[in-house]
């Protein structure tokens, strides 16, 4: 076997796990106040079990609805109505050979007073934490000892309920700024009793929770504890304290799961989000070093590493060299739930690696679903796995070989259709291929190359350097046309825009050597800001100018935070509310609220948006019995929209 260490089973407590790839917790917001998950949620977790992970973990399950909830979309484990949904989730996971796991959580200082769960709304104007404090308008009251013991019992009761519902283990969340982590960190825990002061006292709460669960659920029932091995925050504890905490947990926890960061909702914690959940600007496996340091001091308890993992070769190396005993991933299995099965079978080239764009998390936050940019089936499993409808083979012409067109061609072929794929240029992949040299976009480049390979290996007839006019489309005689023509860049109407020192962002990505030593980029969408980060990394002095008052995130707010923090880290200036009015050989003149400002630069680059090729698309509407415009040629969107529409309409052909 190619990855024998990764796929060797591991015994934890009384349970044998079939491999060392664990699905890290993701809480799902599609839950009712009464604790009912939708069928889509259950299918979301079940799909990961089908893909070969040893365990699948349900996240953000609150043990104390009276004092522990942050928002109403968190599952309440002390509300009896949740038993039915929990049992369905556990069964959906277990029947595929994976161990159902559930993350037990108490928000502590992160809690929101008055969040409604039937029968548990306190009406209190405070929340509990380790010490008295005030954050904004929120009053934090030091948790009395009797309340600490009550919370310990709530953790144990929640674990027993989960066990009775069919869960084979529990994960205690003692990291990321939640209640137990609040007690662990001296930054927040100012107590002088036995629950504060020394690291032994600060760890007492978490240890007592582990012991209470083992008393109620049995010594052989696996208890995983997630800690922040370092808070990676100024004023927070570092790896030495994380090691000390881990050493105290040995003999009480069955797995020590080493993450990092202080979590959300606490002062200055936003900066650690893209470290806890590594953004695309971080290296693969960037946080494994923390688990590796902990592992050096832990003798008898498995240590789990997490963070930016999707490469099975890297995961094998982590296990083989003793950096960790278990590897965990969340977004890696959102992007490709079949990653474990593919790796076990040696099909590395078929793995779709997460590009860490935060599309899934941003969609979950804003829309209640973990929709992935590269995997349109994620959180739509019930629809895409429904294949009972008969498909009548058709002749399909796909116009445009970008991401949407490639996905449509592949899906149509998988459904038995004869497919002709025409691309105007000499290469598949679309305009986004201009970014293939960008290091932090390597997984996107790998994805495009993988699609190109799959098309080459299929029966799809590819016609490059072929512009599809209405006359050409009619000559093909297709039963259906899928139009995926994409967009063209908007060229702003600015005096001097045609100057010799002016470039399109696409060209700057593709040929950075043509950019002078200094550059001004017009536009603070992701095209412009990511280009600024890239050009800075190759030694250019870059300034970004934006007409609006903030970065245009197009709905992906979490990636927007990562971009903003990266620009701050690299000291890349960005000027908002600045309208470019003139370009000359020395730079750009802008109108700002403070008057006219000049930004000198050798090169001016424009990245001010995209315009859909609507006229070219509409011209094809009557060239076949069926016509499906998809992707950006309908309206400029994102990669997720391209893959989704490409897969969906291709499935519709011959079926409806």
Query: Is 495 among the domain residues?
Result: no
Q: Do residue 66 and residue 159 come from a single domain?
A: yes
Query: Is 27 among the domain residues?
Result: yes
Q: According to the model, what pLDDT value does residue 388 have?
A: 55
DSSP per-residue codes, 93-132: HHTTTPEEEEEEE--GGG--TT---TTT----SEEEESS-
Q: Which CB contacts under 8 angstroms, 24+ apart, belong to 48-51?
A: 48/23, 48/93, 48/98, 48/333, 48/337, 49/92, 49/93, 49/94, 49/95, 49/96, 49/97, 49/98, 50/96, 50/337, 50/338, 51/333, 51/336, 51/337, 51/338, 51/339, 51/340, 51/341
Burial of 573 (0-12, 13-18, 19+ CB in 10 A): middle
Share of the chain above pLDDT 70, in %: 96
Q: Do residue 412 and residue 543 come from a single domain?
A: no
Query: Is 558 among the domain residues?
Result: no
Residue 600: CATH number of its domain: 3.50.50.60
Q: According to the model, what pLDDT value does residue 269 have?
A: 65
Q: Do residue 233 and residue 296 come from a single domain?
A: yes
| 610-612 vs 487-489, strand pairing mode | antiparallel
Residue 575 tokens, joined: 């000027």
CA–CA separation, 415 and 654 (whole Å): 9
Q: Do residue 371 and residue 240 come from a single domain?
A: yes
Residue 168 tokens, joined: 């084979």
Q: Do residue 633 and residue 595 come from a single domain?
A: no
For residue 528, the enclosing domain spans: 502-553+569-608
Q: According to the model, what pLDDT value does residue 462 have?
A: 98
Q: Do residue 190 and residue 303 come from a single domain?
A: yes
Query: Is 564 among the domain residues?
Result: no
Q: Do residue 371 and residue 396 come from a single domain?
A: no
Query: Is 497 among the domain residues?
Result: no
Distances (CA, A) of 161 to 81, 86, 116: 12, 9, 21
Query: Is 624 among the domain residues?
Result: yes
| 395-399 vs 595-600, strand pairing mode | unpaired
Q: Do residue 591 and residue 449 come from a single domain?
A: no
Region class of 298: left (phi > 0), else alpha (psi between -120 and 50), else beta: beta
Residue 443: CATH number of its domain: 3.40.50.720
Q: Do residue 154 and residue 222 come from a single domain?
A: yes
CA–CA separation, 10 and 151 (whole Å): 31
Of 323, 355, 383, which closes a domain?
383
Residue 308: CATH number of its domain: 3.20.20.70
Phi, psi (5° rounding) for residue 390? -70, 135
Q: According to the model, what pLDDT value does residue 432 have?
A: 93
CA–CA separation, 339 and 380 (whole Å): 18
Query: Is 108 among the domain residues?
Result: yes
Q: Do residue 482 and residue 354 come from a single domain?
A: no
Query: Is 65 among the domain residues?
Result: yes
What's the total number of domains in the chain?
A: 3
Show the low-confidence residues of the chain (pLDDT under 70): 33, 114-124, 264-270, 386-389
Q: Do residue 573 and residue 549 come from a single domain?
A: yes
Of 323, 356, 383, which closes a domain?
383
Of 383, 402, 437, which closes a domain?
383
Q: Do residue 78 and residue 143 come from a single domain?
A: yes
């Amino acid at each position: 076997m190619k990855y024998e260490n990764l796929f060797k089973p591991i015994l934890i407590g009384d349970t044998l796990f079939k491999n060392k790839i664990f699905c890290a917790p993701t809480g799902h917001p599609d839950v009712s106040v009464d604790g009912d998950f939708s069928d889509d949620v259950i299918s979301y977790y079940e799909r990961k079990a089908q893909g070969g992970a040893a365990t699948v973990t349900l996240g953000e399950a609150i043990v104390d609805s009276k004092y522990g909830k942050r928002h109403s979309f968190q599952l309440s484990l002390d509300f009896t109505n949740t038993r039915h949904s929990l049992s369905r989730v556990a069964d959906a996971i277990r029947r595929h050979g994976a161990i159902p796991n559930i993350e037990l959580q108490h928000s502590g200082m992160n809690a929101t007073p008055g969040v409604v769960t039937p029968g548990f709304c306190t009406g209190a104007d405070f929340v509990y934490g380790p010490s008295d404090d005030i954050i904004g308008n929120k009053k934090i009251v030091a948790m009395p000892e009797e309340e600490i013991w009550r919370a310990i019992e709530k953790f144990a009761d929640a674990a027993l309920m989960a066990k009775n519902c069919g869960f084979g283990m529990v994960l205690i969340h003692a990291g990321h700024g939640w209640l137990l982590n609040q007690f662990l960190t001296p930054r927040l825990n100012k107590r002088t009793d036995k629950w504060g002061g020394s690291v032994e006292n600060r760890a007492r709460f978490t240890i007592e929770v582990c012991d209470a669960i083992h008393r109620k659920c049995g010594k052989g029932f696996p208890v995983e504890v997630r800690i922040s091995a370092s808070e990676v925050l100024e004023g927070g504890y570092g790896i030495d304290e994380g090691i000390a905490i881990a050493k105290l947990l040995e003999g009480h926890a069955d797995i020590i799961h080493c993450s990092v960061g202080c979590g959300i909702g606490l002062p200055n914690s936003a900066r650690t989000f893209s470290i806890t959940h590594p953004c695309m600007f971080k290296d693969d496996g960037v946080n494994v070093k923390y688990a590796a340091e902990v592992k050096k001091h832990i003798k008898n308890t498995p240590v789990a590493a997490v963070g930016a993992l999707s490469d099975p070769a890297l995961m094998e190396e982590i296990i083989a060299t003793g950096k960790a005993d278990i590897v965990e991933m969340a977004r890696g299995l959102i992007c490709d739930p079949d990653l474990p099965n593919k790796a076990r079978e040696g099909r590395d080239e078929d793995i779709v690696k997460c590009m860490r764009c935060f599309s899934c998390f941003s969609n979950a936050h804003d829309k209640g679903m973990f929709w992935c940019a590269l995997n349109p089936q994620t959180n739509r499993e019930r629809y895409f796995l429904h294949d009972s409808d008969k498909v009548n083979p058709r002749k399909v012409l796909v116009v445009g070989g970008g991401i949407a067109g490639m996905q449509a061609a592949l899906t149509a072929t998988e459904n038995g259709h004869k497919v002709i794929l025409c691309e105007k240029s000499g290469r598949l992949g679309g305009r986004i291929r201009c970014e293939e040299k960008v290091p932090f976009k390597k997984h996107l480049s790998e994805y495009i190359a993988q699609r190109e390979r799959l098309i080459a290996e299929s029966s799809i007839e590819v016609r490059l350097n072929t512009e599809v006019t209405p006359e050409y489309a009619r000559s093909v005689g297709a039963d259906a046309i899928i139009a995926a023509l994409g967009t063209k860049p908007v060229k702003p109407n600015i005096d001097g825009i045609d100057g010799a020192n002016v470039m399109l962002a696409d060209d700057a990505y593709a040929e950075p050597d043509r950019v002078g030593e200094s550059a001004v980029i017009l536009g603070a969408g992701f095209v412009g800001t990511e280009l600024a980060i890239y050009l800075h990394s190759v030694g250019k002095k870059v300034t970004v100018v934006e007409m609006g008052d903030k970065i245009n995130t197009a709905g992906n707010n979490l990636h927007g935070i990562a971009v903003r923090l990266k620009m701050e880290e690299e000291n890349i200036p960005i000027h908002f509310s600045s309208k470019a009015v003139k370009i000359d050989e020395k730079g750009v003149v802008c109108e700002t609220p403070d008057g006219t400002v000049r930004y000198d630069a050798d090169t001016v680059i424009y990245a001010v948006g995209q315009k859909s090729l609507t006229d070219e698309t509409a011209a094809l509407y009557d060239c076949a019995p069926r016509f499906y415009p998809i992707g950006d040629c309908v309206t400029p969107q994102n990669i997720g929209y391209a893959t989704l529409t490409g897969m969906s309409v291709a499935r519709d052909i011959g079926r409806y």
